[in-house]
Amino acid sequence: MPVGRRPLLARWCHRAGMLPLLRGLRGLTRHDLRVLAYHRVLESVDPPGFDFDVELISASVEAFRGQMAYLRRHFSPMRFDEVVERIEHGRSLPRNAVLVTFDDGYDDNYRLAFPILREFGLSAMFFVSTGHIDSGRPFAFDWLVHMVCRSTAGRLQLPELDIDWALAPTLDARRAQAAALLDRLKSLDAEAQNALIVGLEERWGMRRAEAPADCRPMSWDQLREMHAHGMEIGSHGIDHNMLSKLPRERMVAEVAGSKRTLERELGGTVSALSYPVGGPDAYDGDTIAAVREAGYRMACSYIGGVAAVGESSRFALPRLSVERQMDQAWFEAMLTAPEVFAYSPRLRNG
């Protein structure tokens, strides 16, 4: 179904009161796991003059509260450790099981999402890139968007990607250029991606160390507080590199090193990871083998969908991305019948 019709059909099903019936029927026949994927929750999904990656805003505070209320009332929210326990003891999941996840580790997760999760007595998994925690430094891809939005240079010239563009005059048009650039960037290996971003910083004199506050990652103290209140913390690598695009030794070091750091800083055992970026080109058989070898027990991709949890899916679980365009009716319909109403995520997002 074309994406444009999904919200319309979702609102129609919602108004017609069909969702409870659909949820009941689906729960009888399928025992799969819905894993929701969020990045950022902010006061607004379209803050005026916002010059970071707007596509990483998953929901407003108000929308997130409505989503968590619905989840609490009509689904079976679970924790990763409960799911792992059930898989490893051959027990099935409850009907309409759901996990809530966040990728990257933005500090709005602590400031705005965490209090709402507590309000509803819910737990969520926060997949964080450990190299960014406590650094105050924005994530490289987000910083790249910021530079393209704010550069005073006339042109964006990147011969390695065959790009020579006049930078657009409006913020909206700059955002579109940044999105196109991020898509092309995925063709490079991790080293070349980082070199390109650092090269632009130097050429344009835009230093990441002087970044404004609204793109800040969480601190270890914030993560410790969340962990102490029942939130789960997992790995999203060290430097948010696409793991399949790193030399093998560095890939293994990111997978195992991020786990060690999290366990040292937070105590306890870290059992889950989400692949940075997360699309089909962000991880491969070698990555999955390294994840198993390091002692993780589950891992998430950023590929859209739902799957029955078993040996074949537990190290590349698909997820349902929550997007800023979703109203409550669409969210409820997506959670009820993901096959019909899931948003096709742009793969660079994870």
Interface residues with Zn ion (CB under 5 A) are: 103-104, 276, 350
Please report how close the Cβ of residue 242 comes to Zn ion at its closest, in angstroms.
10
CA distances from 37 to 186, 259, 264, 306, 319 (A): 21, 20, 26, 12, 6
Q: Pick from 108, 139, 110, 124: which is nearest to 67 by CA? A: 124
Nearer to Zn ion, 129 or 177 (CB): 129
Please report how close the Cβ of residue 154 comes to Zn ion at its closest, in angstroms.
31
Please report how close the Cβ of residue 103 comes to Zn ion at its closest, in angstroms.
4
Nearer to Zn ion, 242 or 333 (CB): 242
Please report how close the Cβ of residue 277 comes to Zn ion at its closest, in angstroms.
6
CA dihedral 165, 169, 170, 175 (to 10 degrees): 20
Nearer to Zn ion, 77 or 350 (CB): 350
**Helix residue spans in the chain (DSSP H):** 6-15, 19-29, 61-74, 80-88, 107-108, 114-119, 140-150, 171-185, 190-204, 220-228, 248-266, 285-293, 328-336, 338-341
Nearer to Zn ion, 156 or 298 (CB): 298
Nearer to Zn ion, 55 or 332 (CB): 55
φ, ψ dihedrals at 40, nearest 5°: -120, 145
Burial label for 290, CB within 10 Å (0-12, 13-18, 19+), is buried
HSE-CB of 183 using CA atoms within 13 angstroms = 10
Q: Pick from 55, 350, 103, 52: which is nearest to 206 by CA? A: 52
Q: What type of residue is 83?
A: V
Please report how close the Cβ of residue 150 comes to Zn ion at its closest, in angstroms.
22
List residues bridging with 224 in a β-sheet. none
Q: Which residue is nearest to Zn ion (CB)?
A: 103
Please report how close the Cβ of residue 267 comes to Zn ion at its closest, in angstroms.
24
Nearer to Zn ion, 276 or 279 (CB): 276
